[in-house]
Amino acid sequence: MIATALNWGHEFGVIEARFADRTAVVDTAGRLTYAELFRKAAALGDRLLAAGVRPGEPVATFLRNSRSAVWASYGVTLSGAAETALNPGLSKADREHCLALSNARHIVTSASQADLFGGSRLTVHCVENIPEASFDPGRFPSVPLDVGGKVLFTSGTTGLAKGVVYNQNQRWLANLLLRAALPVTPRPEGRLLLMTPFSHGASLMTYAYLDHGASVCLLDGANPDIVLPIIERSEVDEMFAPPTVLSKIIAAAGGRRYSGLKTIFCGTAVLSPALYTRAREIFGPIVRVTYGKSEVFNPITVLEAGETDAWYREGGADADACVGWPASGVEIVLRRDDGTDCPTGELGEVHIRARHMMSGYLRLQGYEPMHSGEFHGTGDLGYMDSRGRLHLVGRAADVIKTGGYKVAPEEVERVLAPAVYPGEVAAVGIPSEYWGEIIVAVVERGPEEWLDKVQAAAREMTSYKRPRAYVVLDKLPRNAMAKVQRTLIRDHVLRRYYLRDGAHPQLEPREEL
């Protein structure tokens, strides 16, 4: 008989019995064994069930990276609820928007953050007030496969965040496929370092490693003064570091070589050739690239470390963002604006279909389900090469239309990045009657004489891709997932400057009000 329900108590009971005395989670304050983790999770699951939480009901969590974030995740899952993880870096407006989308009645948070939800309709459960309880897998409910299992939120780089809903079956499948896509099976002695918010991809990696009895070290942010000594002491084997985090750690390393890491998992943004080269010099050829979206649990595509090294060594400074081959269970097609499929090598929008893809979106207007067999249009532009690998070019919404040409910001940034290191650069388009848009390069914390270096790099570019103006900012605006917000950068440029338009456009500072 085909199963129609899932019992997380039985799933987790095997793990607890097998690895009870092993270390499961480490943070800067201490350690938690598997037995301790599940006793805390059981107590939270009991509390939520006693409060009347129903199968598939959204229960919000709002916790910074810590041991508490892990056992709270397991506890919400044990209760059969849909874990609705909020990034603790969200602004008040974004936090309230996400809660309104989910319509959650309960939230699990820390005592220090509980006041953020005072006066709301939410029942607040502080992790400090959750005791331990015996973990009896049999007392937790079986939940239908088609009810809510997890709610994520898009990063909101192009507008208000959307809620991304997965049912219980999709959540279970996603964990299985993530484990299958790992380069090696995590060993009981294996140790994974995570610094990005547990509310997003870090939680998926945690489940995959703890399923095998390994341990996870959770840090609340990428502090190189903590991260580099951990690596130097060989206290971790693998590390998840998206480009923003990787760049920060490499800058602090100062060229010193660190051995001991077996894999650096890299995703969420494009890995530039310049950054890869520096990572290789510091850590060796161990960077593994994946492509993920909130709408399809990571990984969508995989480029293993050896393949990544071959790609960037072959392409050098001109290497584009190859993110590899589709992972198990994932179909990818590239489509033109008219909906027809693109042949090999032609640029189009990336569309994805997978069994573990989301059930649908939560919007302010209500729930919008995915239709059976439907592909999800990602809004990402890319192409497939002759070997079946996906190459990402940029976001369709960010494409700059200048002088009759379309230019992805990433094309500009990839060329200019070495000239501004250790700073960063973002390219945006601003309106121009003459050109349609002009390309503006905005530099964060550029080195001395950065303008001369950037302009020299730009002269090597195709003429229509060259920036027409350069602006410096102390800090590029980013969202809670550390993704650059081009809309805010564009707004900043337009507030501070006006465009002297024409064949040779110039930005002129606006007079102070």
- pLDDT tens, 344-394? 999 999 999 998 899 999 998 899 999 988 999 999 999 999 999 999 988
Question: How many angstroms separate the first and last alpha carbons of the chain?
Answer: 73
Distance of CA 342 to the CA centre of its chain: 27
- Asked if pLDDT for residue 285 goes beyond 70, the answer is yes
pLDDT of residue 513: 40
Q: Residue 68 in contact with residue 198, Cβ under 8 Å?
A: no
- Report angle CA 14, 17, 18 to the nearest 5 degrees: 80
Distance between CA atoms of residues 168 and 462, nearest Å: 49
Distance between CA atoms of residues 383 and 346, nearest Å: 6
Nearest alpha carbon to residue 67 among 231, 198, 209: 198
Nearest alpha carbon to residue 53 among 152, 138, 122, 132: 122
**pLDDT mean over 1-27:** 93
Residue 8 Cα distances to 26, 56, 135, 445, angstroms: 23, 13, 12, 48
- Asked if pLDDT for residue 1 goes beyond 70, the answer is no
Give the CATH architecture of domain 399-509.
Answer: 2-Layer Sandwich (3.30)
Q: Give the lowest-confidence range in 28-32, 87-91, 492-496, 508-512.
A: 508-512
List, for residues 119-147, the tens digit of each pLDDT value. Answer: 788 999 999 999 999 999 999 999 999 99
- Helix 409-420, helix 450-458: angle, nearest 10: 140
141 Cβ contact partners less than 8 Å away, ≥ 6 residues apart? 7, 9, 49, 55, 79, 80
- Asked if pLDDT for residue 106 goes beyond 80, the answer is yes
Task: Give SS3 for 108.
Answer: strand
List, for residues 140-196, the tens digit of each pLDDT value. Answer: 999 999 999 999 998 765 568 899 999 999 999 988 888 888 888 888 888 999 998
pLDDT band at 59 (very low <50, low <70, confident <90, very high): very high
Strand residues in 396-490 grouped as ranges (E): 400-402, 405-407, 424-432, 436-444, 469-473
- Report angle CA 30, 32, 33 to the nearest 5 degrees: 145
pLDDT of residue 474: 87
Burial (CB count within 10 angstroms: exposed 0-12, middle 13-18, buried 19+), residue 49 = middle
HEC per residue, 276-304: HHHHHHHHCCCEEEEEEECCEEEEEEEEC
- Asked if pLDDT for residue 83 goes beyond 80, the answer is yes
DSSP 8-state assignment for residue 87? P
- Asked if pLDDT for residue 202 goes beyond 70, the answer is yes
Residue 447 Cα distances to 256, 423, 454, angstroms: 20, 7, 10
Strand residues in 93-214 grouped as ranges (E): 106-109, 123-126, 143-144, 148-153, 163-167, 191-194
pLDDT band at 2 (very low <50, low <70, confident <90, very high): low
Residue 500 Cα distances to 7, 455, 458, 488, angstroms: 65, 20, 21, 21
pLDDT band at 244 (very low <50, low <70, confident <90, very high): confident
Residue scoring higher pLDDT (18 or 410): 18
Bond from prior residue into 88 cis (ω within 30 degrees of 0): no
Q: Residue 219 in contact with residue 28, Cβ under 8 Å?
A: yes
Global pTM reads 0.87
Bond from prior residue into 422 cis (ω within 30 degrees of 0): yes
Q: How many other β-carbons are positioned within 10 Å of the β-carbon of residue 442?
A: 23
List, for residues 213-232, the tens digit of each pLDDT value. Answer: 999 999 999 999 999 999 99
Distance of CA 452 to the CA centre of its chain: 34
Domain chopping of the chain, boundaries: 399-509
The distance between the two most distant Cα atoms of the chain, rounded to a whole number of Å, is 74
pLDDT of residue 512: 58
- Asked if pLDDT for residue 317 goes beyond 90, the answer is no
Question: Which phi and psi angles does 108 have, rounded to 5°?
Answer: -110, 120
DSSP string for residues in 159-188: SS--EEEEEHHHHHHHHHHHHHHSSSPPPT
Amino acid at residue number 332: I
pLDDT of residue 109: 97
List, for residues 286-311, the tens digit of each pLDDT value. Answer: 999 999 888 988 789 999 999 999 99
Structure tokens at 463: 């003429």
Beta bridge partners of 84: 60, 151
340 Cβ contact partners less than 8 Å away, ≥ 6 residues apart? none
What DSSP element (H or E) covers 74?
Answer: helix 67-78
